[in-house]
Structure 1
Amino acid sequence: MAWRDAKASKVRLLLFMSSIVLGIAAVVSIQLFSTNLKDNIQRQSKVLMGADYTIDTRQEPTERAQAIIDSLKPDAHEVNFVSMIAFPKNGGAKLVKVRGIEGAFPFYGQMNTEPKIAATNYQDVGGALVDATLLLQFNIQVGDSIKIGELTLPIVGALKSIPGSNAISSSVAPPIVIPNRYIEDTELLQFGSRKEYQFFYKTTNDFDLDAFEDKIDPMLDFENADLDTHTSTSKRLGNRYDNVGKFLNLAAFIALLLGCIGIASSVHIYIKEKLKSIAVLKCMGATRRQSFLIFLIQIAGIGIIGGLIGSLFGIALQELFPYLLKSFLPFDVEISISFLPVLIGVLLGLFMSVLFALLPLINTWYVSPLEVLRVGESPSKSSKRAQLIVSSAIALFLLLFSYILLDNIFYALGFVLGTLLTFAILAGIALLSMKGIRTFFPKRFGFAARQSLLNLFRPNNQTVVLVVAIGLGTFLISTLYFTKDILLSKTEVAETADAANIIILDVQTKQKDAVEKRIQSLELPILDNIPIVTMRMHSIKDQLVNTLRLDSTRQVRGWILSHEFRATYRDSLTTSEEIIEGEWTPEIQADAPILISLSDNLASDAKVKVGDDIVFNVQGVLMNTKVGSIRKVDWAQLKPNFTILFPKGVLEQAPQFNVITTAVPNEDKSATLQRELVSNFPNVSVIDLRQVYTVVEDILDKVSWIINFMAFFSILTGIIVLIGSVRTSKYQRIKESVLLRTLGAQNKQILKISALEYLFLGVLGSLVGILLALVGSLCLALLMFNEPFVPSMIPFLVFLPGISLLVVIIGLSNIQTVLRSSPLEVLRREG
């Protein structure tokens, strides 16, 4: 019976099935890609690092650390630092990451260069490997020269890739590789220079890296050094991309939920039309169980087929993800197909379709044989208890599946509650709109307008499901645009005369006046001249840092105990700072206690509050200080911000270097300034904040594209739900429209009625989605980002009319059958 009835209703059942295909495809493709990503990270972990393990330190290794490093016999080592370089050929200058390597690094994988031989012979010939994109940008060829500090080297190869780097980091500071023996000749490693020493090791396959790390890493931590193995690095990398996968999974899951709501709505109308047939079956002796199973088998069948089609579509779809995420991945992903995600897709199609169809399906259980004789009466309804059990099963399944995706019960609970709340708001607004139209019905409107409004709450109406489907899809994609604007406003560099957009780092004390004069000679302002003093914590609240390192029960975060802080001193706060505890002391008098100000994140990690004592080691001199205030610092503002701020009158005589900021009106002026500074002061580094902003904007654009891609599934699923809803109520509409024509209505009027109805649904759904996104984004801006919110107009100018028009077009696509139907058709059918 299930098969026979399905053949007669195959178009409807196919539309039910298509509602979940896209959601299943999205979930399966992301699950498959996540599995492939983890496998690739695990398989390529050595290639990602280029070694089995590394030891690194951000200062010259201590005597004890050097003894440990030497005893392990490094196979290669490097010194790397960020600096300005110049191209003598055309005077171009650029901020880069210089890597001075000695030894046969990398041991796994390879540096990709042009010509290929340059990757292996650059150390022998004494040349530089320069980022290939950088060469194109400055029109430089292999064979030209590069100036790094006081050193000029020939360019022997274009560097296309090197283990461990990715497109994003390279776009900020492109890599330059030179032989390690030339580092000293650059004369760039001066006081305050930010540098890193790395030592690379290769081991045998049977070497126990985990046990080795557990033994050696604590010893190195004590000496301000760190050990990383290829296994621990791959775990961290895997966790980072796992979070991205979880987010994409949730976006796909929302698309699947939309499809399931479409199924529930369509099955509700489908079963309602079958109640008379079920009553006839029961009159002929069919049991409750039999009549229920006929339609349950149909729904289960379309769930399995939909899950299978969705899984196959997902297998094809996952091929796109390596291209979408290419900029964020430091390696190429090899795609393979595993059976588990496909099985999950099929089972998900079965369970989701059956679960969401159960609410309308249980109505078949309570159909009385007498329904066949009753005319015009309301059909029997299912019990409240049965509805509660099914609703609880749906909620439990959603929670369990969310937990599988997120691996955190609290996040899963929050996601389910948030999703249900969003669905409830959209459904509530749809119901309130129906009630409002019914209560305040515009009797003076024309016939077509009044009839279109009446259709919104007629029997078998689709108002709620369409508003939810349209609204949720619009909500997702609008939230993306609003949030992107917030993020960009946090990083945007204002083009005003008093806003710094050039930061000059590592200016030595003896160079300070000369650098200022050089900037002023170009008619540029000196906005800030910030002194920097490096220091480490010696003790916190009378507990020595060395003692805290060995205390496994400590509450102080580990990074604080080995970090070299860069502090400054001044008598005023900047616009990115706000005192939240204590009182700011601008200047210290002689013999008075030194009251410093800490950022709130540092105070939290160090477990200190106002009044606590901290002793700093300022380059060999111990300095007793007391926490006088705690500041909230807006780190997202692109300006020099500090965790530790001293008042004036304390650090003036300490060894220091400076950071100078200025503002340039255009790119030409920026390039001129950089050339001047690099040629006269090779050790300084120049950061053009507008270039950083461009990189940030590019990253956000790529992230936006990915989120748009996922939101597309929700929008497309909503469209399929809309088509299914229109098709499901097709015969009901034919009956209504033909009766209207029998009463004298013209085709033009019927067309207008349908167009106005779908226009109202499209405008209501998309407008509610945009307004919900607006409220959510406003809360994010004020509560999380602490930023004034100026919303993008794209959702209002593009999404609102675009989606509304799409809904009208789809709604009218089915009206041709209605217009072609003869009035006698329905009358004969009724007879």
Structure 2
Amino acid sequence: MARPASSAGVMTALRFAWRRLRRGWRSGELLILALALVVSVAAASAVGLFGDRVRRAVQTQSGDAIGADALISSREALPAALLEQLAALPLRRAAVSELASVVLSGEDTLLVSVKAAESGYPLRGALRVADQPYGTARERRDRPPSGEAWADLRVWQELRLQPGATIQLGQSSFRVSGVIEYEPDRGSGFTDLAPRVLIGAEDLPATGLVSVGSRVQYTQLLAGEPGDLAKAEALPLPQGARYLKPDTARPEVGRALSRAGQFLDIAVLAAILLAAAAVALSARQHGQAQRDEVALLKCLGASSRLIGITLLLQLLLLGLIAGIVGAAIGYAGQAVLAVLIGQLVDTPLPPPSIQPLLTAGALELMLLLGFALPPVLQARKVAPIRVFQRDDGNTGGALIAGVAVAATVGLLWWQAGDARLALWVLGGTLATCAVLALFALLLVAVLTPLRRAGHTALRFGLGNVARRRGASVAQVVALGVALLALLLLAVVQNDLLDAWKQRIPKDAPNQFLINIQPAQVAPLQAFFARNGIAAPPTWPMARGRLIAVDGKAVTAESFDDPETRRWINREFNMSWIDRFGDDNELIEGRYWAPESKGVPELSVDDYVVERLKVGIGSKLTLAIADREVEMTITSIRKVKWESFKPNFFLVTQPGVLDDASGTVQYLTAFHLPRERRAVLRELIGEFPNVTAIDIEATMNQVRGIVDRIVGAVQFLFAFALAAGACVLLAAIESTRAERVRETALLRTLGARRRTIALGLVTEYAVLGLLAGLVAAAAAQITALVLARQVFDLPYQASPLLWLLGGGGGALLVVALGWWSLRRVLDTPPRVVLAGGR
């Protein structure tokens, strides 16, 4: 047979592939593989489309944390050229200026932080303003009218203002018309917050506060589409200016968004593993089904090249059809999810983009090439002699397994974007496969002598497991991987997500009191006792400026990193305590011993190590009050700042700074239910110098992000759960043809339908039990590793998971097996006699 020209050969193969594909649909040979591809593309499309929309919505709503999607901040007025470039972009903008000044009310004065905002401020989120202290706050999406000012509660308290009072800022007077309860872009450093006064930007020049030498922070708030924001970020900034987004401007929000992204990645990775398992199982079955036809074609003179091209084109055609159907289902699925999740996301979800669909298409191509193509192409190596005898020959199992592993690594790495997360998930999966294979082999060895004893149905079921050693091992591994994914989803959803939500407990401190004088500590504790509030602990605090590291004098100019310069160009708040709470994790060094009181040892947060490039044994010299103190770093801590408990970057032990005369103050934090907010009015009346800071709004902001992501992840996991059920069904369907032949043969030999049914139930129960128990163990271990190494969350093993894995796995596999093979039991003997499958 002459070799056809290249183009003619491809066209011939294409026509042949199309005919075989049409016959395959009628005969059902390709139905399982097509279903697996449709499920994989639908899962990837739905997860990708919905996940992309949620990410963009959360990023948009996280702009509430800074009052915008992004901002440009500088100590100098932004140049006109930069403002013109920003004006040329389709972005909403609002300029904000902040500076410190003294406000006067009658004979009283107070140092405040003045914010002057343009119309439209804030661009994201809303202010909450009340008419009077402790009154009902309303949302406001603009700054005060000209000639008016809004002030926070501390200004009202310390100046003893009444509604409608007048205050003086510089050369201008303002009528105070509101109490600021919440600012979306208020910083979270409670010890550095000055009392706030908000005015309109047009009123600032008349005050005369901005002059040569004034220290003003200029901020340009930006809001718009991601592409336009990216163009703004790419603009060259003058020295000292910074472009900030919510995750960099607000660390607590950034940590919440980062954790949210990790949970979404887990959902996507689970869906990918399930899709890969389904395609691999279905492709193996399809490859086995091709061997008889390939052998016959070779007998008729077809070349291996033509057969290979035909099989490849058939897969690509199948992939194209399945991809279109799967993308349509995925698009519809994400729309349903968007409707269901709408009540959880305050910001409307943006419309779907095309990128996730392209990504799903690329995922399907990788699945085809990595999992489906190798076993199908191996079929073209079958010798023509298979027409006369069933000899599989070289199946290329090692090559197929190697390609599949490489494809899995590529898929996980590409999708996760986090090498460590991908490796942990992949490592847990491979370890599970190895353990499942080992236990399956041991099971076969144990069951071999048992298949000759007991009830006929029991012998039949156990005999099937023992007789088909390779098939049993492969099926246990496949079932185990699917059950692992499903159990892992349950663990992540029920345990890890709950642990994440508990990071901010309901009774977390929401009120901070600062400027407590030493003589007021005992009376303040008595005040709490009188009002039925558990007396909270108090922390001493002194302020110091870093002047030397390891004996070498340092200033802000000693560091190249702009963030370090900004951070070091201010005084540090220090404290001294006997021991640390559970919101501080020791990661290096040692805490001080009780007998070493007074030794200048220092414990630092890991952020200090990152910024100053110091470590255990480094010496920091700080100017505190009228003296300099050199302290040696003996421990490095990781502070859980999201606990909202008082914490400090620098902590020493008692006896080192106790005599810092005139500079020691105390602070405390406690939880106050909203219905008891009136207690604050009484507290401030009794201790007028004490400043109360309400951080309930900031806590609710982080809780809101957590709740929205938990809801989104739960819906994504529900979709992945359906994909996992398809994997189990594919694993069972992979032996359907063999079951048909076996059942018909047994019926020919006189076996009763009930005996065959009990045997199949026994076989599937044993396989499901084994796969479920090992998958439960793997899920526990993988969840523990994810909790400790990736999410930094507490996790405790659940014995219920073993019952769910073992019992649930057995019941699920039996149910799906019975649903798949119930008609096989009615296969008449003539099917075998006629040579059918």
TM-score (norm 2): 0.72
Over residues 602-650 of structure 1, what are the superposed CA-to-partner deviations in whole Å (9 max), with x where a residue is unaligned? Answer: 345433345544222335x342212162254553666433332233253
**What's 2:572 paired with?**
565
- Of residues 319, 326, 333, the one that matches 1:310 is 326
Over residues 706-757 of structure 1, what are the superposed CA-to-partner deviations in whole Å (9 max), with x where a residue is unaligned? Answer: 3333333443222213323434433321222233334443333333223333
- Of residues 106, 111, 120, the one that matches 1:106 is 120
Q: 1:634 to 1:265 in 2, by over 3 A?
A: same
- Of residues 342, 358, 364, the one that matches 2:379 is 364
Conservation of the 8 A alpha-carbon contact between 2:602 and 2:632: yes
Q: Aligned-pair distance for 1:490?
A: 5.8
Q: Aligned-pair distance for 1:286?
A: 1.5
- Report the AA paired with residue 584 of structure 1: W
Q: 1:428 to 1:596 in 2, by over 3 A?
A: closer
Q: Aligned-pair distance for 1:354?
A: 3.5
**What's 1:123 paired with?**
145
Conservation of the 8 A alpha-carbon contact between 2:515 and 2:667: yes
Q: Aligned-pair distance for 1:813?
A: 1.0
Q: 1:451 to 1:357 in 2, by over 3 A?
A: same
Q: 1:471 to 1:764 in 2, by over 3 A?
A: farther
Q: Secondary structure at the match of 2:30?
A: helix
Q: Aligned-pair distance for 1:688?
A: 9.5
Kindly indicate whether residue 628 of structure 2 is the aligned counterpart of residue 623 of structure 1.
yes
Conservation of the 8 A alpha-carbon contact between 2:38 and 2:325: yes
Q: 1:9 to 1:255 in 2, by over 3 A?
A: same
Matched length: 739
Q: Secondary structure at the match of 1:361?
A: helix
- Report the AA paired with residue 271 of structure 2: A
The Cα RMSD (Å) is: 5.4
**What's 1:807 paired with?**
813
Q: Aligned-pair distance for 1:46?
A: 10
Q: Equivalent pairs: percent with the same residue? A: 21
Q: Gapped runs of 5+ residues in structure 2?
A: 1-15, 84-93, 101-111, 130-137, 165-175, 189-194, 201-214, 223-227
Q: 1:406 to 1:379 in 2, by over 3 A?
A: closer
d(CA) in 2 for partners of 1:16, 1:786: 39
- Of residues 473, 479, 483, the one that matches 2:486 is 473
d(CA) in 2 for partners of 1:631, 1:783: 18
**What's 1:543 paired with?**
552
- Report the AA paired with residue 391 of structure 2: S
Q: Aligned-pair distance for 1:685?
A: 3.0
Q: Secondary structure at the match of 2:822?
A: helix
Kindly indicate whether residue 544 of structure 2 is the aligned counterpart of residue 529 of structure 1.
no
Kindly indicate whether residue 712 of structure 2 is the aligned counterpart of residue 706 of structure 1.
yes
Conservation of the 8 A alpha-carbon contact between 1:42 and 1:234: no
Q: Aligned-pair distance for 1:812?
A: 0.9
**What's 2:769 paired with?**
763
d(CA) in 2 for partners of 1:341, 1:349: 12
Q: Aligned-pair distance for 1:416?
A: 5.8
Q: 1:9 to 1:99 in 2, by over 3 A?
A: farther
Conservation of the 8 A alpha-carbon contact between 1:532 and 1:657: yes
Q: Aligned-pair distance for 1:367?
A: 1.5
Q: Aligned-pair distance for 1:321?
A: 7.2
d(CA) in 2 for partners of 1:294, 1:480: 44
Q: Secondary structure at the match of 1:814?
A: helix
**What's 1:186 paired with?**
none
**What's 2:742 paired with?**
736
d(CA) in 1 for partners of 2:339, 2:182: 17
Q: Secondary structure at the match of 1:745?
A: coil
d(CA) in 2 for partners of 1:804, 1:697: 39
- Of residues 508, 513, 516, the one that matches 1:505 is 513
Q: Aligned-pair distance for 1:16?
A: 1.1
Q: Gapped runs of 5+ residues in structure 1?
A: 57-64, 81-97, 132-145, 170-175, 182-195, 218-225, 495-499
**What's 1:187 paired with?**
none
**What's 1:7 paired with?**
22
Conservation of the 8 A alpha-carbon contact between 1:737 and 1:750: yes
**What's 1:354 paired with?**
369
Q: Out of 327-336 and 346-355, give the one that drifted further.
A: 327-336
**What's 1:293 paired with?**
309
**What's 2:283 paired with?**
267
Q: 1:308 to 1:769 in 2, by over 3 A?
A: same
Q: Aligned-pair distance for 1:269?
A: 2.6
Q: 1:346 to 1:696 in 2, by over 3 A?
A: closer
**What's 2:360 paired with?**
345
d(CA) in 2 for partners of 1:110, 1:486: 30
Q: Out of 726-735 and 579-588, give the one that drifted further.
A: 579-588
Q: Secondary structure at the match of 2:528?
A: helix
d(CA) in 2 for partners of 1:197, 1:325: 43
Kindly indicate whether residue 238 of structure 2 is the aligned counterpart of residue 215 of structure 1.
yes
Over residues 645-703 of structure 1, what are the superposed CA-to-partner deviations in whole Å (9 max), with x where a residue is unaligned? Answer: 23325344232321236799xx69966755643554465437799x9999877765544
d(CA) in 2 for partners of 1:656, 1:622: 14
Over residues 238-290 of structure 1, what are the superposed CA-to-partner deviations in whole Å (9 max), with x where a residue is unaligned? Answer: 99969966764564354234323322322323332332222222111112223
Pairing of 1:245-284 with structure 2 (within 5 A): 248=264, 251-284=267-300
Q: 1:5 to 1:76 in 2, by over 3 A?
A: closer
Q: Aligned-pair distance for 1:394?
A: 4.8
Q: Out of 751-760 and 101-110, give the one that drifted further.
A: 101-110
Q: 1:457 to 1:684 in 2, by over 3 A?
A: farther
d(CA) in 2 for partners of 1:158, 1:261: 59
Over residues 571-606 of structure 1, what are the superposed CA-to-partner deviations in whole Å (9 max), with x where a residue is unaligned? Answer: 5565657695367376999xx984444345534543
d(CA) in 2 for partners of 1:110, 1:346: 35
Pairing of 1:663-678 with structure 2 (within 5 A): 674=680, 676-677=682-683
Kindly indicate whether residue 589 of structure 2 is the aligned counterpart of residue 581 of structure 1.
yes
- Of residues 524, 541, 557, the one that matches 1:515 is 524
Conservation of the 8 A alpha-carbon contact between 1:470 and 1:715: no
- Of residues 745, 756, 767, the one that matches 2:751 is 745
d(CA) in 2 for partners of 1:550, 1:406: 38
- Report the AA paired with residue 309 of structure 2: L
Q: Secondary structure at the match of 1:353?
A: helix
Conservation of the 8 A alpha-carbon contact between 1:128 and 1:178: yes
d(CA) in 1 for partners of 2:364, 2:72: 47
Conservation of the 8 A alpha-carbon contact between 1:588 and 1:650: no
d(CA) in 2 for partners of 1:342, 1:160: 44
Q: Secondary structure at the match of 1:106?
A: coil
Conservation of the 8 A alpha-carbon contact between 1:471 and 1:767: no
Conservation of the 8 A alpha-carbon contact between 1:614 and 1:627: yes
- Report the AA paired with residue 483 of structure 1: L
Q: Aligned-pair distance for 1:299?
A: 2.0
Pairing of 1:161-172 with structure 2 (within 5 A): none
**What's 2:108 paired with?**
none
**What's 1:655 paired with?**
663
Q: 1:708 to 1:149 in 2, by over 3 A?
A: farther
d(CA) in 2 for partners of 1:24, 1:371: 35
Q: 1:66 to 1:583 in 2, by over 3 A?
A: same
